[in-house]
Amino acid sequence: MPLVVLPALLQDIGPVCDTFLAAFKNEPIMKFLYPRGVDRDCHVEATAEQWKHDSIVYNYKCVDTNTGKVVGMATWEIYWQPGNENGWKKPQDIPWLEGKEKERCLRILGPMWDVREQLFGNRHHLYLHALAVHPDHQRSGAGRLLVQQGIEIAEQLGLPIYTESSQPGIHLYKSLGFEKLNHVRLIHKAEVLGEEQDAEVPLVVRMPSRAKGLSFREWGERGYNENYA
């Protein structure tokens, strides 16, 4: 039987978190988010609280129907409700960090938030907050299925999708109709990363079909009209 994407329910919180942590175990961002190492129980508890109370977050799981195991997950933020007050608002804090650890993490997350605010502000859009496939199931098509789930929703709403890609992931996004933004760039400095070289984070957007081929930059130049006129 094939892989299938389903809504992730609260009882799925453990397997979904385990998939995320396994996929991101060696990603550089983890040393900033969890400088003392990941506490699984705390991560699960914090994620569960978000699922219970955040009205714009929608979570999905990709299940191997032969085994019943969760092999991938995606978290989407969907800003669809009428009125500008329902748009994205820049976070002001990282509640689980303090002092220099928080300051260090903000030097990574802050520029990401600034760019998102610059590009979308309180405009309606979808944001792919997290996409993870368990290392044992990568290249199985799970990631593609999870992104396609969001694309279907974006097409129904007629809204663009925005996310930050990894360098290896850019090929998946381009194959699904995303464009890499070149007029806006996000570069983390080497001294902030603790590495020898700067690192660029690819920024990608997928415009809905009702935009009729309009690029994100062209849409901006026309004033971000949600009718794409």
CA 23, CA 44: separation in Å to the nearest integer?
15
Q: What is the pLDDT along the chain (229 residues), one digit of tens a residue?
A: 699 999 999 999 999 999 999 999 988 889 999 999 988 998 898 889 888 888 899 999 999 999 999 999 999 999 998 776 667 777 877 888 899 999 999 999 999 999 999 999 889 999 999 999 999 999 999 999 999 999 999 999 999 999 999 988 999 999 999 999 999 999 998 888 888 899 899 999 999 999 999 999 999 999 999 899 8
Q: How far apart are the first and last CA of the chain?
A: 44
Which helix or strand (DSSP H or E) is residue 110 part of?
helix 99-119
Would you call 13 helix, strand, or coil by DSSP? helix
Q: Where are the beta strands (DSSP E) in the chain?
A: 3-7, 57-64, 69-79, 125-133, 161-164, 179-180, 186-188, 199-201, 203-206
Residue 7 inside a domain? The answer is yes
By residue range, what is the domain housing residue 46?
Answer: 3-221
Q: What is the pLDDT of residue 192?
A: 86
Cα 151–Cα 157–Cα 158 angle in degrees, nearest 5: 80
Q: What is the pLDDT of residue 120?
A: 92
Q: State residue 85's pLDDT score.
A: 66
What CATH number does residue 98 fall under? 3.40.630.30
228 domain-assigned: no
Residue 226: inside a domain, yes or no? no
Determine the pLDDT at residue 14. Answer: 96
pLDDT score for 42: 84
| 100 falls within a domain | yes
Q: Is residue 227 part of a domain?
A: no
For residue 39, what pLDDT is reported? 86
Whether residue 181 lies inside any domain: the answer is: yes
210 belongs to a structural domain: yes
Alpha-carbon torsion (153, 159, 164, 165), positive or negative: positive
DSSP state of 153: H
Cross-strand bridge partners of residue 199: 188
| The two three-digit tokens of residue 25, written as one number | 């175990």
Domain count, the chain: 1
Q: Let me know if residue 229 belongs to a domain.
A: no
